[in-house]
């Protein structure tokens, strides 16, 4: 177990180091989410309900995550490094978990920019809504890291990733919007927690087959 | 006389990608400490066979038994299997951690010195020449002192110094009782080490 967690930490740290060096994912995500919120700010008619604005926030977050996931496996694809990791790790699922944690760090960083911008343009988020964002982000990165690995190994990855990811993200959007606008957000938060647990276990178990030809 | 056990045993091995068969009916046995040389024209399936032996692909048909744990295999492929935006030190440190190499820093320093990369250890791989990248790939493949070393055209891109280093390294590995599988277009270069050979043709 210690070796497994050591592998996960080393892999996640490697992704953070690559991003600090190249800066080709996080700035793009932050700029994209802010630009999207600005567009929504002007697109939403005056007098529109706050509920509609919360819906647009989730559209912005899901597509921002998609942007990050599209780049997630690029360093592994460039020089065949994924094969090296497959050979070297004690358990191949560590590769998925390391990638999911690094992607989560990037998404949370983008949300640290996005949520104040949303509060500025629309309305601030309360506690349950923030918890909903956190839980949904975990789910997005768990399932997104798996499907982006599948897409990275295929031709037409730019098309395949949204086709695989967006249907799986619909429950997260439902849970996230519900936790933002419902007077009783507990059920939605529990739903998001359940989604995270189920899809994290499925992704963890399935990754072995994704990286084996 | 001691009987060596087979480290790799293949019977009727076949590999297909979709409708295309790239490897057909390959059988061989490689004993511990032996050296198998794989030859054949481009597209004959040499790299595919080595990926199967390395555990990076599964056969479509036939039997392939590897008598060594997956992480005790050292694999050199066509790609260097490193991160281009990390330095040589950072790449080898990552792999050293994943393989659980004891006294990692000393081992990395020794390999970088032996393969002539010590001075360039803090440069990103994106700034390396092809020959330097191949030397680093050899360092990565040998970092964890593997028992089975699988090398796909290891002489590619190396200059005369690099070729001499590689020849010496292969001799050292063979003398240390490591099992070798080498795919090459220049079988004369490894003929002295070979205990067996396979000539692949187009499937």
Q: Which of B57, B97, B101 to mutate against chain A (most A CBs within 10 Å)?
A: B97
**Could you tell me which of B19, B58, A82 has the C-alpha nearest to residue B49?**
B58
What is the DSSP-derived secondary structure letter of residue B119? G
**Could you tell me which of B180, B177, B170 has the C-alpha nearest to residue B149?**
B180
Nearest-by-CA chain A residue for B140: A84
Residue B51 to residue B62: CA distance in whole angstroms: 15
Nearest-by-CA chain A residue for B100: A3
Say whether residue A18 is in contact with chain B using an 8 A CB cutoff.
yes
Contact B165, B114 (CB under 8 A): yes
Beta strands in chain B (DSSP E): 6-17, 20-31, 35-39, 61-66, 73-76, 148-152, 179-183, 196-199
Tens digit of each residue's pLDDT (9 = 90 or more) over B115-141: 999 999 999 999 999 999 999 999 999
Contact B97, A6 (CB under 8 A): yes
**Could you tell me which of B157, B83, B156 has the C-alpha nearest to residue B125?**
B83
Contact B71, B38 (CB under 8 A): no
Residue A162 to residue A82: CA distance in whole angstroms: 22
What is the structure's pLDDT at A213? 65
- List per-residue pLDDT tens for chain A, 213 residues long: 788 999 999 999 999 999 999 888 999 999 999 999 999 999 988 777 888 899 999 999 999 999 999 999 999 988 889 999 999 998 999 999 999 999 999 999 999 999 999 999 998 899 999 999 999 999 999 999 999 999 988 888 889 999 999 999 999 999 999 999 999 999 999 999 999 999 999 999 999 988 876
Nearest-by-CA chain A residue for B60: A213
Across the interface, do A212 and B58 touch by the CB < 8 Å criterion? yes
Say whether residue A6 is in contact with chain B using an 8 A CB cutoff.
yes
Tens digit of each residue's pLDDT (9 = 90 or more) over B159-190: 999 999 999 999 999 999 999 999 999 999 89
Give me the residue from A6, A18, A86 closest to B97, CB to CB.
Answer: A6
**Per the domain annotation, does B176 fall within a domain?**
no
A-chain residues within 8 Å CB-CB of B57?
212-213
**Per the domain annotation, does B132 fall within a domain?**
yes
What is the structure's pLDDT at A96? 97
**Per the domain annotation, does B140 fall within a domain?**
yes
Say whether residue A39 is in contact with chain B using an 8 A CB cutoff.
no
Domain containing B134: what range? 83-145
Q: DSSP assignment of A65-112, as one string?
A: HHHHHHHHTHHHHHTTHHHHHHHH-SSTHHHHHHHHHHHHHHHHHHHH
Across the interface, do B71 and A81 touch by the CB < 8 Å criterion? no
Domain count, chain B: 1
Give me the residue from A18, A79, A89 closest to B98, CB to CB.
Answer: A89
Beta strands in B40-128 (DSSP E): 61-66, 73-76
Give me the residue from B80, B86, B97 closest to A10, CB to CB.
Answer: B97
Across the interface, do A22 and B85 touch by the CB < 8 Å criterion? yes
User: What's the angle, vertex CA A29, arms to CA A23 and CA A31, rounded to 5?
Assistant: 95
**Per the domain annotation, does B47 fall within a domain?**
no
**Per the domain annotation, does B178 fall within a domain?**
no
CA distances to B75, B148, B189, B195, B197 from B192, in Å: 21, 18, 8, 9, 12
What is the structure's pLDDT at B7? 92
For residue B48, what are the contacts with CB-CB under 8 A and spacing of at least 6? B15, B22, B23, B57
């Amino acid at each position: 177990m210690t070796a497994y967690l050591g592998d996960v930490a080393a892999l996640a740290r490697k992704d953070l180091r690559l991003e600090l060096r190249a800066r080709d994912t996080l700035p793009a995500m932050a700029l994209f989410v802010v630009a999207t919120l600005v567009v929504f700010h002007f697109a939403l008619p005056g007098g529109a309900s706050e509920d509609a604005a919360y819906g647009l926030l989730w559209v912005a977050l899901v597509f921002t995550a998609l942007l990050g996931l599209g780049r997630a496996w690029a360093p592994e694809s460039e020089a065949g490094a994924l094969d090296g990791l497959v050979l070297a790790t004690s358990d191949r699922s560590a590769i998925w978990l390391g990638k999911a944690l690094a992607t989560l760090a990037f998404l949370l960083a983008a949300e640290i920019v996005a949520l104040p911008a949303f509060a500025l343009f629309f309305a601030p988020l309360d506690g349950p809504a923030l918890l909903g964002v956190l839980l949904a982000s975990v789910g997005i990165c768990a399932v997104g890291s798996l499907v982006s690995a599948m897409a990275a190994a295929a031709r037409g990855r730019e098309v395949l990733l949204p086709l695989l990811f967006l249907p799986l993200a619909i429950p997260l959007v439902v849970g996230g919007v519900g936790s933002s606008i419902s007077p009783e957000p507990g059920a939605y938060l529990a739903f998001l927690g359940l989604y995270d647990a189920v899809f994290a276990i499925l992704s963890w178990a399935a990754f072995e087959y994704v990286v084996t030809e | 006389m001691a009987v060596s056990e087979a480290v790799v045993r293949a019977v009727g091995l076949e590999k297909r990608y979709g409708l295309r068969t790239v490897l057909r009916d390959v059988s061989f046995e490689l004993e511990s400490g032996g050296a198998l040389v794989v030859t054949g024209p481009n597209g004959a399936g040499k790299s595919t066979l080595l990926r199967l032996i390395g555990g990076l692909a599964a056969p479509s048909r036939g039997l392939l038994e590897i008598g060594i744990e997956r992480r005790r295999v050292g694999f050199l492929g066509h790609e260097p299997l490193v991160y281009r935006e990390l330095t040589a030190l950072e790449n080898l440190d990552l792999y050293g951690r994943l393989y659980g190499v004891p006294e990692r820093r000393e081992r990395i320093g020794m390999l970088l010195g032996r393969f002539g990369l010590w001075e360039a250890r803090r440069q990103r791989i994106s700034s390396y020449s092809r020959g330097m990248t191949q030397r680093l790939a050899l360092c990565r493949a040998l970092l964890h002192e593997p028992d089975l070393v699988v090398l796909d055209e290891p002489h590619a891109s190396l200059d005369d110094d690099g070729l001499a280093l590689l020849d010496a390294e292969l001799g050292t590995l063979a003398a240390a009782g490591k099992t070798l599988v080498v795919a090459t277009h220049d079988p004369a270069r490894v003929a002295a080490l070979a205990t067996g050979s396979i000539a692949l043709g187009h499937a």
